[in-house]
Amino acid sequence: MSHPRYLLLPLNLITITLALLSQRSQAQLSPSFYDCTCSDVSAIVRSTVQQAQTSDPRIYASLTRLFFHDCFVQGCDGSILLVDSSTIQSEQDARPNKNSARGFNVVDDIKTAVENACPGVVSCADILALAAEASVNLAGGPSWTVLLGRRDSTTANFTAAGNLPGPFDNLTTLQKKFSDVGLHDIDLVTLSGAHTFGRGQCQFFSNSRLYNFNGTGKPDPTLNSTYRTILEQNCPQGGNGSVLNNLDPITPNKFDGNYYINLQNHRGLFTSDQELLSDPNATTTASIVNNFAGNQRAFFNSFVQSMIKMGNISPLTGSSGEIRTNCSVVNSGSGLELHIQIRHDSDTGSAAE
């Protein structure tokens, strides 16, 4: 007798799940996603980020970068926040993140504050999006309306994180890595402008730009020689590769348009920065650099658009993914959660029995 019943139950579940999926497959991110369930979420994120900055002047930059490193790896789904476990090989251990990506403790603080106000509602992926916006704006950059409604992944991709855009990449490679996620020259040049604040370690430029450009044993000829002298003092050959340098020496903690002026002065820190202007093929990117160098307002407007575009990279919506309780780990018992989700959404108590 239990046999037909056994068959019936999963069929019901499958039918309901499919109905929910198709109903929500149109799901788009929306600025009002938490209006009824957590209307203060933006303010909570902003105040926690601002508080963190009082003891960590670099945090605005670090949180802005975290959002980028999240979105470029299987979409904006909080995957970068997952630590090693039996099912997860953490993206945090991939080369571009290891001993480099930071701000995870502040994300945890934000999550705690948000959970206190509205438990189980706000995703870690959305927290990263909100924290990036708050950071840029608090550092003097533009503000914008953040689109929300992302859900959190139950997976991470260590290999894909290893393939994030890198400081040694040439323009062609950068263009390819951006176009792979639907971003183009305007987004590449605009988002690179985030290197207007924060720090970079010697290891990401000293050999390639100061001491052994392309195997020549000489400096990169596209590097300003006055700037090079300063960098050589902070990053002696064979020295400590973890020593930090300001990405924008003029206003290290401020979000402004100086990045592009620096590029015009051959003061881009990484190969990937100066390539936007100096690569022989950089006609399109160079004209964007030159436009932004003389027009901070145009840069800010473009930055808002490109951040929104980056924030739209394959989000999980509807019934895919989950709302993590702890941003560092996937929820336990995801099968059970599917049942609970269905009961809440469609009041089918018997099917979920």
Ligand X SMILES: *[C@@H]1O[C@H](CO)[C@@H](O)[C@H](O)[C@H]1NC(C)=O
Residue among 145, 65, 150 at smallest CA distance from 101: 65
Q: How far is the CB of 118 from ligand HEM (least distance, A)?
A: 27
Give how far Cα 297 sits from Cα of 129, 272, 293, 301, Å. Answer: 22, 24, 10, 6
> How far is Cα 341 from Cα 321, in angstroms, rounded to an integer?
12
> How far is Cα 70 from Cα 90, in angstroms, rounded to an integer?
12
Residue with tokens 């290197």: 195
Residue 299 binding ligand HEM, by CB under 6 A: no
> How far is Cα 280 from Cα 260, in angstroms, rounded to an integer?
18
Q: What phi, psi does 77 have (nearest 5°)?
A: -135, 15
Interface mask (CB under 6 A) for ligand X, residues 311-340, using x and -?
A: ---------------x-xx-----------
| Among 25-33, 145-153, 166-174, 314-322, the segment contacting ligand X (CB under 6 A) | 166-174
Residue 64 binding ligand HEM, by CB under 6 A: yes
Q: Which residues are annotated as a binding site for Ca(2+)?
A: 70, 73, 75, 77, 79, 91, 196, 248, 251, 256
User: Cα 318 to chain center, whole Å?
Assistant: 21
Residue with tokens 């999240």: 70
Half-sphere exposure (CA, 13 Å, Cβ side) for 111?
22
**Pick from ligand X, ligand HEM, none: which does 63 bind, CB < 5 to 8 A by kind?**
none
Interface mask (CB under 6 A) for ligand X, residues 69-88, using x and -?
A: --------------x-----
Interface mask (CB under 6 A) for ligand HEM, residues 153-192, using x and -?
A: ------------xxx-x----x-------------x--xx
Structure-block tokens of residue 192? 């690179």
**Pick from ligand X, ligand HEM, none: which does 170 bind, CB < 5 to 8 A by kind?**
ligand X
Contact 281, 176 (CB under 8 A): no
Residues binding ligand HEM (CB under 6 A):
58, 61-62, 64-65, 68, 100, 102, 165-167, 169, 174, 188, 191-192, 194-195, 197-201, 204, 247, 270, 272
Residues binding ligand X (CB under 6 A):
83, 157, 159-160, 163, 170, 172-173, 214, 224, 226-227, 240, 242-243, 265-267, 280-281, 326, 328-329
